[in-house]
Amino acid sequence: MTTNQCDIGLIGLAVMGENLVLNMESKGFSVAAFNRTTEVTEKFAANRAQGKNIQPTKTMGEFVGALKRPRKAMIMVKAGAPVDAVIGQLAPLVEKGDVIIDGGNSLFTDTQRRCKDLEGRGIHFVGCGVSGGEEGALKGPSLMPGGSRESWEIIAPIFRKIAAQVDGEPCCRYMGPDGAGHYVKMVHNGIEYGDMQLICEAYAILKDVVNMNVKELAETFTEWNKGELDSYLIDITSQIFRKIDPETGRVLATIPSPGGGRDSGLAWAEGTLWVGQYRDRKIHQIDAETGAILRTLECSRFVTGVTWVDGELWHGTWEGDESDLRRIDPRTGEVLESLEMPRGAGISGLESDGGDRFFCGGGKSGKVRTVRRPKRGPAMG
């Protein structure tokens, strides 16, 4: 890709940043990517960004040079001083009429201050709330941009396209001047935290006053999730990580969930549990008695299931239209073998029959696919 050809650029390649870059690219935009730690950029370029219309850059100058005018540079770093530090490096390199976007959870008064400073230099500044977590960033977040009307008009074609779409309308609206976007995100977060408190209090009343057991509580929250209370928070509350007696349903023990409700399958092997962590692309080996994490293995795609057979650790992946089964080294996470699925045939769950067959959930297809495990040659003495 030649200089000045990228439609937009993004700084900060943690999970949210990477996923937003991939989202933008999947919607037809060319994207420049930069991270303060060069190794992070190189790893992204060699794995998830490989073969895509994404331009990895190693310096801030190279990053700015890769962008079309008017330049649009989005910052996805930790709120507070890190945002000011990035702006301090970026602002001297851009020109009047360019747009800097802060997509983190910045305090709206900080956004007002930054907007006043940059607009005084002729540089547009947008404070944009981003909601939906890692999965939303990849597949379509809710976006709450605030800043000058002119800056909104410059970024609108991209932001309206990458946002979640509901009934043909993008979940993205201009919120108003300077800190309006981050103010709305603050209110949004407050409502979410209020919902979480209500769920906690409902749980406490049902458990301690109504005397429901865990099985009844799970059934109640599952039923609530079928009606007006249908939501992500109610859904994950109903799926409490627990160990039960299969005969009575009585909870025998509980251990903390390493993914905080974002886990995707588990397997028992040689005295420990292996737990997939879907959104963070990780597999944890955990102590089944205490829940302590013994080892963490990184994956380059979303982890959609874990199984152990004949001393081999396998897991499923699914990201976009690409999906595969991988045998990995349980010590290092190195991919030892990969069984690619047909494009569009996503794996949404994984189990083994203990022999030579894998059973793979088929996502929205409603099918379970059987995949044969590769045969092994005789052991060599």
Phi, psi (deg, nearest 5) at residue 175 = -90, -25
The span from the CA of 260 to the CA of 256, in Å, is 8
Rg, C-alpha atoms of the chain: 23
Three-state SS for 4-60 is CCECEEEECCCHHHHHHHHHHHHCCCCEEEECCCHHHHHHHHHCCCCCCCEEECCCH
Task: In whole angstroms, give the CA distance from residue 21 to residue 2.
Answer: 18
Residue of 18, 185, 319, 351 marked catalytic: 185
- DSSP 8-class letter at 135: H
185 included as an active-site residue? yes
HEC-encoded secondary structure of 310-349: CCEEEEEEEECCEEEEEEECCCCCCEEEEEECCCCCCCCE
* φ/ψ (deg, to 5) at 67: -95, 140
Question: Is there a catalytic annotation at residue 289?
Answer: no
**Cβ–Cβ < 8 Å for 100, 73:** yes
Which three-class secondary structure state does DSSP give residue 225?
A: coil
What are residue 282's DSSP bridge partners? 277, 298
Tell me how far CA of residue 140 lies from CA of 2, 19, 21, 155, in angstroms: 28, 10, 12, 16
Contacts of 126 (CB under 8 A, 6+ apart): 99, 100, 101, 102, 145, 146, 147, 151, 152, 155, 181
Q: Which of 192, 216, 312, 322 is catalytic?
A: 192
**DSSP label of 141:** -
CA distance 344 to 323: 8
- Residues serving a catalytic function are 185, 192
